[in-house]
C-alpha cells in the first residue's frame, strides 16, 4: 500500500548529513499547490542546520505566494483582509466610510494588540480578553468593530487551513445594555420643531427647516437627502429617486455614491406639502443642476457638519434627543400608524428585511385594544348547570 501523502503545509522526517564545510538538513515539504518538494538548509553544526530548516518551513508560503500557516503572524492575515476589503470598496460593494472606520480601529487597537501573535495563538480566551480591554477603554462600538476585523482576518486563516475553525464565533457577545425603544416625533412635536427652526435665523440660513420637512416626508437618511439632485425630482409624477448617498472618503473628500444595497435604490412618492416645498425651492435656487440641499457654493453638503448644525439648533432639553435619524423613525411610525404593511414601510426606508424596520424604526408603545379583548376570558371559570337541570 503506498504511503499516504503529507498534509499540505507539513514536512516529513528531517535527515542530516555532515559535509566538509558543516552540516546539511533536508526534508520533504508538501507545498500549498499540493506538490511535495525537498527543502535543504545548511549550518555549521547539526542543530543549526535543523533550526534553519524548521525556520524555512515556518516562513514558507509556497508557489501560491500568499497562503497562511499556523505560524504566520496575525498581522499577515490582517493585511490580506485589508486588501480584500479595499477591493470590495473599489468595486462599489462596500462603503468608503466603512473602510475608514475599520482602518481606524485596525491601526489604533487590533494591530498593536494582536498583530505580532501567531495565528495558532489566536485563541477564544485571548480574543475575549482583548475585546474586553477595548470595550472598557474605548467603548462597545469600537469593540464590535474590532471583533468584525478580527473575524474577517481569521476567516481567511480558516480558508488557508491555518486554523480549523474561527475562534471569534465562540467569544462572548458584546452587549451594550438595554436597547432603547425607538422614539419618533408626535404631531405636536413635529409642529413645534419646525416652528422653532423657522424662528432661528441661523437654522434658516443653514436650510434646516426644509431639510427636516424632506426627511420626514420621505424617511430617507441624511446622506441620501443631501445626495438628491434636482434631476431626481419628478414634479409631474410627484416622486423623487433615491439612488445615492453623500459620504466623505479619505483622500477624495465628499463624494456621491450608490446606496448601501439594491433595496436602497428606490423611487418614493411625495406628499403634496413636500412637493409644494420643493417647487418653492426650485423657483429660487441658484443651482438648478445641483443638489436640492446644497452647501453655500452649490456643491455637496457634508452630512457630519449638517448633523452638527441640527444638534446646535435643537436647543434645550425639550428636543435634546432629536437626531437626523429621528425624522426617519418619524416617517416610519406615521406609515405604520396609517395601517401600511411592514413590507411597504421597509420599501419606503430602503430595507431589504421588514424585520429590520419593525425592530429599529417603528416607535409603537400603545398595543391594540383587540389584544386585551381576546384575552378577556382567559381566566373565566366555566358556567355550571343549575341544580336539577342536568337531567332535564
Q: How confident is the model at residue 35 (pLDDT cuts 50, 70, 90)?
A: confident
Q: Is 74-170's fold the same as 187-360's?
A: no
Residue 94 clears pLDDT 60, i.e. is over it: yes
Q: How confident is the model at residue 351 (pLDDT cuts 50, 70, 90)?
A: low
Q: How confident is the model at residue 367 (pLDDT cuts 50, 70, 90)?
A: very low
**Residue 359 pLDDT:** 54
Instruction: Pick from 151-160, 179-188, 315-324, 353-362 the range whose average pLDDT is largest.
Output: 151-160
Considering only residues 80 and 5, tell me which one the structure prediction assigns the higher pLDDT.
Answer: 80
**89 is written with which cell numbers?**
470598496
Q: Which residues of 29-68 are buried (b: 16+ CB within 10 A; e: fewer)?
A: bbbbeeeeeebebebeeeeebbeebbebbeebebeeeebb
Angle at 106 (CA atoms; ends 352, 255), nearest 5 degrees? 55
Q: Where do the domains of the chain lie? A: 15-59, 74-170, 187-360
Q: What is the pTM for the complete model shown? A: 0.57
If you classify domain 187-360 with CATH, what class do you get?
Answer: mainly alpha
* 3-state SS record for the chain: CCCCCCCCCCECCCEEEEECCEEEEEEEEECCCCCEEEEEEEECCHHHHHHHHHHHHHHCCCCCCCCCCCCCEHHHHHHHHHHHHHHHHHCCCCCHHHHHHHHHHHHHHHHHHHCCCEHHHCCHHHHHHHHHHHHHHCCHHHHHHHHHHHHHHHHHHHHCCCCCCCHHHHCCCCCCCCCCCCCCCCHHHHHHHHHHHHCCHHHHHCCHHHHHHHHHHHCCCHHHHHCCEHHHEECCCCEEEECEEEEEECCCEEEEEECCCHHHCEEEECCHHHHHHHHHHHHHCCCCCCECCCCCCCCCCCHHHHHHHHHHHCCCHHHCCCCHHHHHHHHHHHHHHCCCCHHHHHHHHCCCCHHHHHHHCCCCCCCCHHHHHHHCCCCCCCCCCCCCCCCC
Mean pLDDT across 275-283? 95
If you classify domain 74-170 with CATH, what class do you get?
Answer: mainly alpha
Residue 262 clears pLDDT 80, i.e. is over it: no
**Residue 264 pLDDT:** 60
Q: How far is CA 217 from the centre of its chain?
A: 26
**Residue 63 pLDDT:** 42
Mean pLDDT across 134-150? 91
Lowest mean pLDDT among 34-38, 127-131, 175-179, 278-282: 175-179
Distance (Å, rounded) from C-alpha 210 to C-alpha 212? 5
Residue 248 clears pLDDT 60, i.e. is over it: yes
**Percent of all residues in the chain with a pLDDT value above 70, rounded to a whole number:** 82
What does R_g of the chain's alpha carbons equal in angstroms? 31
Considering only residues 379 and 191, tell me which one the structure prediction assigns the higher pLDDT.
Answer: 191
Across the strands, what pairs with 242? 266
Distance (Å, rounded) from C-alpha 133 to C-alpha 29? 40
Considering only residues 180 and 98, tell me which one the structure prediction assigns the higher pLDDT.
Answer: 98
**Residue 357 pLDDT:** 54
Residue 123 clears pLDDT 60, i.e. is over it: yes
**Residue 366 pLDDT:** 37
Distance (Å, rounded) from C-alpha 292 to C-alpha 225? 8
Under a CB-based contact definition with an 8 Å cutoff, are residues 274 and 213 in contact? Answer: yes
Amino acid at each position: 500500500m503506498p504511503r499516504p501523502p503529507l498534509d499540505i503545509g507539513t514536512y516529513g522526517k528531517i535527515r542530516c548529513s555532515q559535509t566538509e564545510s558543516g552540516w546539511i538538513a533536508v526534508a520533504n515539504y508538501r507545498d500549498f499547490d499540493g506538490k511535495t518538494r525537498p527543502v535543504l538548509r545548511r549550518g555549521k553544526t547539526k542543530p543549526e542546520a535543523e533550526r534553519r530548516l524548521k525556520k524555512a518551513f515556518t516562513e514558507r508560503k509556497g508557489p501560491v505566494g500568499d497562503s497562511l500557516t499556523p505560524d504566520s503572524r496575525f498581522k499577515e492575515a490582517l493585511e490580506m483582509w485589508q486588501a480584500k476589503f479595499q477591493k470590495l470598496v473599489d468595486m462599489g460593494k462596500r462603503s468608503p466610510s466603512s473602510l475608514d472606520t475599520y482602518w481606524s480601529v485596525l491601526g489604533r487597537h487590533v494591530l498593536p494588540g494582536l498583530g505580532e501573535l501567531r495565528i495558532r495563538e489566536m485563541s477564544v480566551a485571548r480574543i475575549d480578553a482583548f475585546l474586553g480591554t477595548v470595550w472598557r477603554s474605548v467603548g462597545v462600538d469600537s469593540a464590535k468593530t474590532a471583533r468584525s476585523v478580527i473575524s474577517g482576518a481569521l476567516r481567511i486563516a480558516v480558508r488557508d487551513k491555518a486554523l480549523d475553525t474561527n475562534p471569534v464565533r465562540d467569544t462572548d457577545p458584546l452587549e451594550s445594555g438595554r436597547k432603547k425603544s425607538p422614539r419618533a416625533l408626535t404631531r405636536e412635536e413635529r409642529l413645534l420643531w419646525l416652528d422653532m427652526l423657522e424662528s432661528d435665523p441661523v437654522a434658516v440660513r443653514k436650510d434646516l427647516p426644509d431639510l427636516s420637512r424632506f426627511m420626514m416626508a420621505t424617511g430617507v437618511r441624511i446622506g441620501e437627502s443631501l445626495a438628491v439632485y434636482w434631476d431626481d425630482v419628478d414634479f409631474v409624477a410627484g416622486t423623487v429617486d433615491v439612488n445615492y448617498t453623500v459620504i466623505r472618503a479619505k483622500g477624495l473628500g465628499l463624494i456621491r455614491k450608490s446606496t448601501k444595497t439594491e433595496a436602497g435604490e428606490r423611487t418614493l412618492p411625495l406628499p403634496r406639502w413636500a412637493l409644494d416645498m420643493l417647487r418653492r425651492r426650485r423657483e429660487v435656487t441658484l443651482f438648478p443642476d445641483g443638489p436640492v440641499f446644497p452647501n453655500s457654493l452649490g456643491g455637496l453638503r457634508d452630512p457630519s457638519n449638517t448633523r452638527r448644525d441640527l444638534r446646535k439648533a435643537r436647543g434645550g432639553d425639550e428636543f435634546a434627543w432629536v437626531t437626523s435619524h429621528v425624522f426617519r423613525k418619524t416617517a416610519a411610525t406615521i406609515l405604520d400608524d396609517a395601517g401600511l404593511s411592514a413590507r411597504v414601510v421597509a420599501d419606503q426606508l430602503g430595507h431589504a428585511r421588514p424585520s429590520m424596520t419593525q425592530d429599529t424604526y417603528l416607535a409603537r408603545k400603545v398595543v391594540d385594544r383587540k389584544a386585551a379583548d381576546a384575552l378577556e376570558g382567559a381566566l373565566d371559570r366555566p358556567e355550571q348547570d343549575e341544580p336539577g337541570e342536568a337531567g332535564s
